[in-house]
Amino acid sequence: MEKIPARLTVKPTWLLTQLALHAHRLSSEAFGVLGARGYHYRILAALNEFGPASQADLGRHCTMDRSDVVAAINELAEAGYVERNPDPADRRRNIVSLTESGERRLQHIERELDRVQDDMLAPLAAEDRRALIGLLTRLLAHHRDR
């Protein structure tokens, strides 16, 4: 077992960073198996929850840079998971919508990500998982509002 200085192991910032590395690895492996990317999941989830949206709105919903949104939408459109059509109210922008195939793709990714969550949180009971999610949500909200 590797030796880690005790003072690090009581610092939430260090602990969160170490867990983020594991979470990223697990998620990346799952996306890789599916031939997907995290950006794909974000966009499909946003379209499913909020309905058709402009590329700019998707960027805001998904906390993604505009160029990343465009690249991900191009990939999703090429695969038939989303459709991009001119906005009737403003022909300069596109409205992106989820296709039936995209809905199925989202469900498939979701099942794999549920498995990743279970793997990541394996040592925690259901109540502890809910508590952790609640605490992380509060911390993120606090720091996003600053």
Please give the full DSSP string across 16-58, using - where no structure is assigned. HHHHHHHHHHHHHHHHHHHT--HHHHHHHHHHHHH-SEEHHHH
Instruction: Please check whether residue 2 lies inside any domain of the structure.
Output: no
Instruction: Please check whether residue 67 lies inside any domain of the structure.
Output: yes
Range(s) of the domain holding residue 104: 12-144
Mean predicted confidence (pLDDT) in 46-68: 95
83: domain CATH number is 1.10.10.10
Residue 26 has a CB neighbour count (10 Å cut-off) of 16
The total of structural domains in the chain comes to 1
At 43, the pLDDT band (50, 70, 90 cuts) reads very high
Residue 118 has pLDDT above 90, yes or no: yes
Q: Give 140's contacts (C-beta < 8 A, 6+ positions apart).
A: none
Instruction: Please check whether residue 31 lies inside any domain of the structure.
Output: yes
pTM: 0.88
Beta bridge partners of 54: 95
